[in-house]
A and B are shown apart, each in its own frame.
Chain A
């Protein structure tokens, strides 16, 4: 009989460390920044004990660049940051998208813009997670709302990164990052862990961007497979190209490898949506306020429900579109001046969409959401 697992009181950022280690992360490179620093601190304690490597870099750019290097060498790699650091990492994020390098980047959202409010929560990096780096590129971002979920979603982020050979962002706000809740560390084998696909062909037959594959396997450096990695548009062997056909095809393939698997990447939690007339769409700590608000509204006799995307990018178009055909109104509370609400509006076919916004460093409380729900009654 399996031993009963003990609950442990843990901070969100500590749970991120547990999730990364559970997923098999062996390399961390980063730079201290509030409110994400506990992730670096945790990794600096834990990785040396398991033969992994922690490096504190000279700046944020170095942090993601070294993690890219760690991943190319075959290790599951992590970097973590917050607002200003996420801005600095954007060029390398785009590099990892185009060079197709699996990587997990945690952004614990704090108030912005600029240095902003380092110790206060925000959800104003929602669009940055999708569009922060230049050029068209695929984006996957997961958005946990509970400490336990930071662990499981960090594992999922590594799985998605390895499976789709792309950087994945774990996006949560300062409240969830610094919150302490009792959680259970899953036993080995309890959660699925995806490891990088092994390259089986002969070294002289290997092409890192082989167009015959939807997702070509990535050979770790130092294993006899010689190939070129660049941030320039490239051919199947990785060398730069000016050929428009190959540029176009390469750009389309990195989008297609995500777009063809949306149903596997999307993940939502739905509360009370079966008969809902008014729906709330929210992520992170705001979704926790929304859950309370929805329950309160129900007790007042209002049929309200919650759609909580755990995969924010790619945006859950299908779920929101279907929802919008069934409900009268969709309320989108978010700690920014209107970002996710634009996506909900884009996907909504019929329902009225109303944003509830706040950028004063305070969380959106259930009362604000209840007021918005009542305005449709």
Chain B
């Protein structure tokens, strides 16, 4: 694996001049993934922050062939691109080169409206990497809840009020849904741990077949946090075990990072405005319930560590 210095020296494939927010988790994630291979890349992006922020006419931040199609179909679009490439290669219309195909989508475009397209592409065994930048809500349209939104989050469509205290449902476990497609490689990662993320991207991109990365992406706008705290919060999501780093390679699960000391969930929640209501004394039971569920999920994951699932 390349060192940080070597990675930094590589060509920037998502250049400066994009309009994503200060402190947004998306650019470091995308840049690191694009740097994790030297092969040419063709990418597609679902409607969302990444698409809007990098391609406002007449500018583009992409130094690679890039397609935005619609909200629900990034995985279907990359399927077509990849299949066409194979057909063209087979008939000798284009030179035989190792080209990597990547689809990017946010949690809305992946967990929700894009799930059908993703599932189809995984099942058809297209040779591509799907990257979900999961910031836990529809941030591009103004912070509406998604099925990735953490429990009790205050969003504009799960407002924390007297009648209902924020989002009532536990987040969908998308990584496990992808694993259930028997893909050769799927992993969860976070931008604060660049070595782990880059290694996972490198692994995924080296595999011939459908692969998947689910990456925690801090969002100062929707989390109501300070821009400069994003990477710290990404780390806390992992150290509190809300967002475990693990991979499933050929069916074998491996937890790639185990915090020496598991931090209380409140340390990740407290700096985030979307969880403000959880820190009212009368809502302590909610905080406890949240912690309990995180503990349970972490325990379940540890039990699977090193096992074929």
Contacts and interface: CB of A to CB of B under 8 A. Distances in A.
Q: Do A and B assemble together?
A: yes
Contacts of B159: 41, 44-45
A58 interface: yes
A148 to B, nearest CB: 25
A106 to B, nearest CB: 16
Interface of B: 47, 68, 70-72, 108, 112-113, 115, 138, 141-142, 144-145, 147, 156-159, 161, 163-164
Given A32-B157, A44-B158, A58-B115, A84 B145 contact: no
Given A40-B144, A41-B144, A115 B112 contact: no
B141 A33 contact: yes
Max chain B C-beta neighbours (<10 A), residue from A31, A34, A56, A60: A56
A243 B191 CA distance: 62
Given A34-B142, A44-B156, A49-B163, 17 more contacts: A31-B112, A31-B113, A32-B141, A33-B141, A34-B141, A37-B141, A41-B144, A44-B158, A45-B159, A49-B161, A56-B144, A56-B158, A59-B112, A84-B70, A115-B68, A115-B70, A115-B71
A44 B153 CA distance: 14
Interface residues on A, range: 20 to 34
A92 B161 CA distance: 33
Contacts of A45: 159, 161
Contact of B145 (A49, A56, A114): A56
Interface in A26-74: 31-34, 37, 40-41, 44-45, 48-49, 54, 56, 58-60
Contacts of B144: 32, 37, 40-41, 56
Nearest to A41: B156
Contacts of A48: 161, 163-164
A44 B157 contact: yes
A115 B73 CA distance: 12
B157 A54 contact: yes
Nearest to A30: B157
B157 A60 contact: no
A54 B158 CA distance: 9
A93 B163 CA distance: 32
Contacts of A34: 141-142
Nearest to A51: B163
Contacts of B164: 48
Nearest to A59: B113
A31 B113 CA distance: 9
A281 to B, nearest CB: 33
Contact of A56 (B68, B71, B157, B161): B157
20 contacts: A31-B113, A32-B138, A32-B142, A32-B157, A33-B141, A34-B141, A37-B144, A40-B157, A41-B142, A41-B157, A44-B157, A45-B161, A48-B163, A48-B164, A54-B157, A56-B158, A58-B113, A58-B115, A59-B113, A115-B71
A114 B70 contact: yes
Max chain A C-beta neighbours (<10 A), residue from B113, B142, B159, B163: B113
